[in-house]
């Protein structure tokens, strides 16, 4: 799978969006290829389990369904991250509303472990994974978007719906926590 | 691992990692990292974390197949759609005006039909389209053109006309014919005053 440019390429995205709106379906294929890997990483790091693939697909379906509403205030990738995060939060809420008799089974737990395990592999990766697991959800989101995806604080703030200053604080707290864990 | 006291430089490290810094700024940050062991260690850590990240496999072809079709491409003339036109605000306003105007016209016509109208009174002893007979009355001037007031609301009201009591069947049929013709006229033309030439007329 191609992953051209982890932080995206806004001018190229704008071209592809215009082409898709003009009826070029191949532009959609390229847009998906450009951004699906980043969305999958973000989903996995945010705790999505076996449904990473489905979550990424739902994100694109929703994004293309409302592409006319994309004003370009942020990059296309940032917009996609925002949509994916909202979908992820909706799913978490739905899971919390699940009846108590439908608790997460062993298979689910194993799949969650597998998804995280796939995110970072090997001894070093395992330590990094453990460090990330100790972060709060918001710290982890901010850290992953900043370090793994290379988003600016401004874009990170848009995705997690906070201020730029708060995003900066989350990042530095997360970095301190990761360092402490790895130094221990 | 200690933190560098230069927060601004630390903030730039992820941008340096992703090569997102402008050329001049990149040179500054690199110079700082070269001289700062804390920032160098932190940049190494960031590099390890980024390298350790595995991208889950995603079936992009399945995603593309699930995407909704684009809705149009060229956004100019797309053929006339009644469904789209029905939601046009201007069309809605125009439809409301037409309905109001039409309703008012119908209302006026209905009121007019209910009103008494003036029709020529057929003569008793002449043809149906003859001039209206007017009984001699002492209070009517001979020079005034007399008119017959007839209601068109139905037989009961017809019977109320004092001047119709003594009309023959043929006269009544003639009168109804005339009334029928008047029904086809527009409301503005319904009030017709025909000078009656009575038996003892001018």
- SS3 string of chain B? CCCCCCHHHHHHHHHHHCCCCCHHHHHHHHHHHHHCHHHHHHHHHHHHHHHHECCCCCCHHHHHHHCCCCCCCCCCCCCCCHHHHHCCHHHHHHHHHHHHHHHHHHHHHHHHHHCCEEECCCCCCCCCCCCCCCCCCCCCCCCCCCCEEECCCCHHHHHHCCCCCCCCHHHHHHHHHHHHHHHCCCHHHCCCCCCCCCCCCC
Tell me which of A90-104, B110-124, B131-145 is least confident.
B131-145
Distance CA A139, CA B139 (A): 107
pLDDT reading at B34 higher than 60:
yes
Nearest Cα of chain A lies from the Cα of B27 at a distance, in angstroms, of 19
pLDDT at position B92, please? Answer: 74
CB contact under 8 A, B52 and A147: no
Predicted local confidence at residue B27, as pLDDT: 95
- Most B-contacting residue of A2, A10, A16, A28 (CB-CB within 10 A), to test interface: A28
Q: How many CB pairs under 8 A join A and B?
A: 120
Band of pLDDT at residue B127, cut at 50, 70 and 90: very low
Best of B16, B51, B64 to substitute, by most chain A Cβ atoms within 10 angstroms, is: B64
> What are the angstrom distances between the C-alpha of A110 and each of A49, A52, A107, B155, B157?
9, 15, 5, 93, 94
B131 pLDDT higher than 50? no
Look at residue B138 in the predicted model and tell me its pLDDT: 47
pLDDT, one tens digit per residue, over B77-107 is 344 445 555 556 676 778 788 888 888 887 7
């Amino acid at each position: 799978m191609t992953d051209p440019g982890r932080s995206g390429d806004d001018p190229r995205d704008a071209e592809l969006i215009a082409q898709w709106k003009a009826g070029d379906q191949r532009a959609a294929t390229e847009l998906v290829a450009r951004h699906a890997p980043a969305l999958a990483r973000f989903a996995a790091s945010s705790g999505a389990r076996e449904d990473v693939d489905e979550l990424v697909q739902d994100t694109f379906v929703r994004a293309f369904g409302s592409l006319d509403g994309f004003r370009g205030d942020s990059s296309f990738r940032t917009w996609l991250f925002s949509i994916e995060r909202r979908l992820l939060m909706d799913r978490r809420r739905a899971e919390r509303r699940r009846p108590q008799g439908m608790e997460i089974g062993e298979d689910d737990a194993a799949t969650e472990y597998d998804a995280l395990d796939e995110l970072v592999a090997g001894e070093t990766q395992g330590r990094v994974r453990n460090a990330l697991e100790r972060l709060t959800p918001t710290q982890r989101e901010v850290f992953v978007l900043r370090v793994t995806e290379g988003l600016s604080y401004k874009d990170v703030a848009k995705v997690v719906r906070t201020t730029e200053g708060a995003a900066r604080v989350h990042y530095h707290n997360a970095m301190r926590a990761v360092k402490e864990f790895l130094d221990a | 691992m200690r933190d560098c006291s230069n927060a601004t430089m630390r903030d730039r490290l992820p941008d340096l990692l992703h090569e997102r810094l402008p050329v001049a700024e990149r040179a500054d940050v690199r110079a700082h990292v070269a001289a700062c062991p804390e920032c160098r260690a932190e940049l190494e850590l960031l590099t390890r974390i980024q390298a350790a990240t595995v991208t889950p496999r995603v079936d992009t072809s399945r995603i593309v197949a699930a995407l909704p079709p684009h809705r149009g491409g060229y956004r100019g003339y797309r053929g006339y759609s009644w469904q789209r036109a029905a939601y046009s605000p201007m069309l809605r306003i125009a439809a409301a005006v037409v309905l109001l105007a039409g309703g008012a016209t119908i209302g006026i016509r209905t009121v007019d039909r209910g009103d008494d109208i003036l029709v020529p009174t057929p003569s008793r002893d002449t043809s149906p389209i003859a001039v209206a007979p007017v009984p001699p009355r002492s209070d009517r001037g001979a020079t005034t053109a007399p008119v017959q007031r007839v209601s068109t609301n139905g037989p009961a009201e017809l019977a109320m006309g004092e001047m119709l009591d003594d009309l023959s069947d043929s006269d009544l049929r003639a009168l109804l014919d005339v009334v029928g013709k008047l029904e086809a006229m527009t409301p503005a033309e319904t009030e017709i005053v025909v000078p009656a030439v009575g038996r003892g007329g001018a």
